Structure 1
Amino acid sequence: MSPPGVRPKLRGAAAVCTTMSALAATSMVTAPSTAEPFSPAPCALTRTGAHHSEGVDTWNAAYPRPARSLDAVLVFLSFPDSRPLTAPRELAGDHFPATSRFFRRASYGAFTLRAHPLRHWIAMPRPSTEYAIQRDWSAEHRAAYLRDALAAADGAVDFSRYDVVYFVADPDAPGVDSDATKVVNLDTPLRADGTDIRRVVTVFENHPPDRLVLAHETGHVFDLPDLYHRPADGRGDWDTHVGDWDLMGSQFGLAPDLFGWHKWKLGWLRPRQVACVRGAGPVRLTLEPLGAGPGAEAAGAAGAAGGAGAAGAAGAAGFGLGRGTKLAVVRTGAGDALAFEARGPVGNDGAACRAGVLVYRVRSEAASGSGPIRVIDAHPDTAACWEESVYPPLADAPVALGESFTVPGEDVRVKVEGRTASGAWTVQITTG
């Protein structure tokens, strides 16, 4: 489920935009006291029973893994208490090809989501108001909605052909609540056309919808958790855990590419692209920009939000990257790890506010919505991009070129030493 509502973009004073320092050409140097060849296995947290656990040692076979092309059907549902004002093709255009493009970039071309939208409305048997659609939907009303939708669509759709099912409601029907868009996981699967349907994306978005909302919900189909913070009373800021830095935190983020940890989990990073840093003493390594690589077009953000200029040029130059190290990990406990990755205005992160090495903590025992990943702010006393960022205090979280940062509460220090001619970042990580 996504954070609620269409977020206002004006947050205060104008953002202070800075231009990144010129690139410094440096080469990879590995200190002799640390673990070669950086096997990721010791840093792979064990998958737990937590909902959407961030463990990466095994894949949860209950979910389709997006390591190949998958087919998705969009079924458009109308109701007897409302005449649709928007054609199915227009609603399909709200989400595709944007959703497929996001995943193609995020996966470096390894995954394609193929959309198959129906061209006509499927009539539901009951008025929209009878389903009591809302964000925290009752199981009874939700089950009735799914049963009716499946029965109504079964004659027009061969569900055995599809890996992902989207039920898209008429956005103008009086009982439709845009905050209710979510993935429904079914303990007892629905059955149609000889196949079990274990989860359905129920879409109740406005037209036009929230940006990248369907990509966020589709992430849940692939076992990714919600990363936002949900205030106990429903009020307050939802973006304090990860800010702009991952789609599963906010579909509005300036840098919504999936964390390197998620790309590792989904199989989009090869083992050699994940460096497990162990032992005392410093390790020097080169981190390629997370958003750069085959299939992840450079979306340089010159002038989009602070962090353009040289960094944007580096993003464009980094288009050919994609086979080197993308993620560095320090294991800090049985179910905890620190992750380090280079973020900047390239690919899905084209509007990134700041560029640098982002640091975050991963907990495999924390369930979806309970902070399984939290960004660690390298600049806790400042904020950035007030007019655009979903959470300005974390917009400048990355460790910038020439800076050093010690992770609070850990004997772990990262220093960003330079940039290569291709746009990669050279860093030193010291543990112990």
Structure 2
Amino acid sequence: MSVPKLRSTAAVLTTMSALAATSILGGPSAAEPFSTEPCALHRTEVHHSEGVDTWNPAYTRPTGTLDAVLVFLSFPDATPRTTPAALTADHFPETSRFYEQSSYGRFTLRPHPLDRWLRMPRPSTAYAIRRDWNAEDRAAYLRDAFAVADRAVDFSRYRIVYFVADPDAPGVDSDATKVVNLQTPLRVDGTDIRRVVTVFEHHPPDRLVLAHETGHLFDLPDLYHRPGDGKGDWDTYVGDWDLMGSQFGLAPDLFAWHKWKAGWLDPRQVVCVRGTTPTRLTLEPLEAGPGGWARDGGGAPAFGLGHGVKLAVVRTGPESALAFEARGRGGDDRTSCRQGILVYRVRGDIASGDGPVQVVDAHPRTEACWESSVYPPLADAPVFLGESFTVPEDGVKVEAEGVTASGAWTVKITPAVK
């Protein structure tokens, strides 16, 4: 589910992608290549668990090429003022480009839009569409949508289904865009459909909204904080730093933890920091990818090596860990406010929407980019070049010692003494 529309005013800037080459440097202790143990969190039964030891087979893993169908639904109480082609262009190729960049070319989302409207049998107002949708009204909408679409679509050809409603119909609420998880898979054209993205966006839509919703199809959690009364700030957990927190973020690339969970990082690209003596390593910027895959905003290749270490992890408890990654300005992060070593806490036993990931602010007394950030107090959260920072409560110290000519960061991490 997307965050409130008040975030759509966030401004964007552009810059070129950083290039990086990495290696593990010698230090007082060796950094161990990532393995299932001891730094991986176990996947638990909570919704969209951040555990990474196993993949949840109920979800499609975003690797290789996945085909998606876009079905456009009109209603008897409105005549569409836009075309399916225009609505497709609202979301593609932007959504596909986001995932191509974030996955370093390991995942391709291939859209297949219908070229015409399909008429629903009831007026748009009959479905009572809204953000917190009544289950019976939502089920009625999906039953009618599949009934009209089944005559035009062979669902066995697609792993992803987007139902796109006429944005100008009177009963359509743009806040209702979300992924609907079906308790019992729907059998259509010989295939089981477990979840559907229902799209009710304005034309033009909010930035990257479909990329956010698509992330839920791959078992990624909501990282925003929804106030109990619906008022107040929604972005206190991760600010601008991950698409699943806000699609309006200045640095919306997915956390390295999510890239590893999705299968986009090789085991050697994640380092488990153990013991109590300092570990020195080189972190490649998150956006850097294999030559020709990571691209700047204009589509030009960014020829970073893309095979170096992306993520350092310190286990802090049975269900918790600290993650460290280098964030620059390039790829999906090309409008980033600040660059440096981003630190965040991860919990495998906290459900989607309840704060399974929380960014640690290395500069808690300051804020940045107040005119464009979704949450300025966290816009300057990374540890800057030449700084050292000790994570409150956990006692783990990180030092950003230098940046190589290629843009990689040399970092020293000292675990707490127990």
Q: TM-score range by the shorter chain?
A: over 0.9
Q: Give the conservation status (yes or no) of the 8 Å contact 1:402–1:417.
A: yes
- Structure 2 portions without partners, runs of 5+: none
1:142-170 Cα offsets, whole Å, 9 max, x none, are: 00000000000101000000000000000
Query: What residue in structure 1 maps to residue 38 of structure 2?
Result: 42
Specify the SS of the correspondent of 2:138.
Answer: helix
> Which of 95, 98, 102 is the equivalent residue of 1:99?
95
Q: Quote the Cα distance in structure 2 between the aligned partners of 1:319 and 1:370.
A: 38
Q: Quote the Cα distance in structure 1 between the aligned partners of 2:144 and 2:284.
A: 48
Partner amino acid, structure 1, of 2:308: G
Residues 13-92 of structure 1 aligned to structure 2 (within 5 Å): 28-37=24-33, 39=35, 41-92=37-88
1:12-69 Cα offsets, whole Å, 9 max, x none, are: xxx9x9x9xxx9x997423243453454631110000000000000000111101110
* Structure 1 residue 190, shift from structure 2 partner: 1.6
- Structure 1 portions without partners, runs of 5+: 301-315
> Which of 367, 390, 397 is the equivalent residue of 1:406?
390
Q: Give the conservation status (yes or no) of the 8 Å contact 2:156–2:191.
A: yes
> Which of 238, 241, 247 is the equivalent residue of 1:251?
247
Q: Quote the Cα distance in structure 2 between the aligned partners of 1:26 and 1:73.
A: 39
1:172-225 Cα offsets, whole Å, 9 max, x none, are: 000000000000000111221111110000000000000000000000000000
Specify the SS of the correspondent of 1:264.
Answer: helix
Partner amino acid, structure 1, of 2:75: F
Specify the SS of the correspondent of 1:100.
Answer: helix
Query: What residue in structure 2 maps to residue 164 of structure 1?
Result: 160
Q: Give the conservation status (yes or no) of the 8 Å contact 1:255–1:352.
A: yes
> Which of 267, 274, 282 is the equivalent residue of 2:278?
282
Q: Quote the Cα distance in structure 2 between the aligned partners of 1:211 and 1:223.
A: 21
Q: Quote the Cα distance in structure 2 between the aligned partners of 1:84 and 1:274.
A: 49
- Structure 1 position 383 matched with structure 2 position 335: no
Q: Quote the Cα distance in structure 2 between the aligned partners of 1:136 and 1:293.
A: 39
* Structure 1 residue 344, shift from structure 2 partner: 1.1
Residues 300-315 of structure 1 aligned to structure 2 (within 5 Å): none
Specify the SS of the correspondent of 1:142.
Answer: helix
> Which of 306, 309, 312 is the equivalent residue of 1:322?
306
Query: What residue in structure 2 maps to residue 142 of structure 1?
Result: 138
* Structure 1 residue 6, shift from structure 2 partner: 4.2
> Which of 219, 225, 228 is the equivalent residue of 1:223?
219
* Structure 1 residue 4, shift from structure 2 partner: 1.7
> Which of 318, 322, 333 is the equivalent residue of 1:338?
322
Q: Quote the Cα distance in structure 2 between the aligned partners of 1:159 and 1:27.
A: 46
Q: Could you say what the CA RMSD is over the residues aligned between the two structures, in angstroms?
A: 2.1
Q: Quote the Cα distance in structure 2 between the aligned partners of 1:104 and 1:10.
A: 23
Query: What residue in structure 1 maps to residue 337 of structure 2?
Result: 353
Q: Give the conservation status (yes or no) of the 8 Å contact 1:400–1:416.
A: yes
Q: Quote the Cα distance in structure 2 between the aligned partners of 1:336 and 1:76.
A: 42
Q: Give the conservation status (yes or no) of the 8 Å contact 1:26–1:418.
A: no
Q: Give the conservation status (yes or no) of the 8 Å contact 1:229–1:240.
A: yes
1:233-254 Cα offsets, whole Å, 9 max, x none, are: 0000000000000000000000
- Change in Cα spacing, 1:396 to 1:74, as seen in structure 2 (3 Å) is same
Q: Quote the Cα distance in structure 1 between the aligned partners of 2:184 and 2:288.
A: 41
Q: Quote the Cα distance in structure 2 between the aligned partners of 1:193 and 1:317.
A: 40
Q: Quote the Cα distance in structure 1 between the aligned partners of 2:310 and 2:153.
A: 41
Residues 130-279 of structure 1 aligned to structure 2 (within 5 Å): 130-279=126-275
Query: What residue in structure 1 maps to residue 403 of structure 2?
Result: 419
Q: Quote the Cα distance in structure 2 between the aligned partners of 1:264 and 1:404.
A: 26
* Structure 1 residue 411, shift from structure 2 partner: 2.0
Query: What residue in structure 1 maps to residue 9 of structure 2?
Result: 9
Q: Quote the Cα distance in structure 1 between the aligned partners of 2:377 and 2:301.
A: 29
The alignment-based identity, stated in percent, is 74
Q: Give the conservation status (yes or no) of the 8 Å contact 2:28–2:277.
A: no
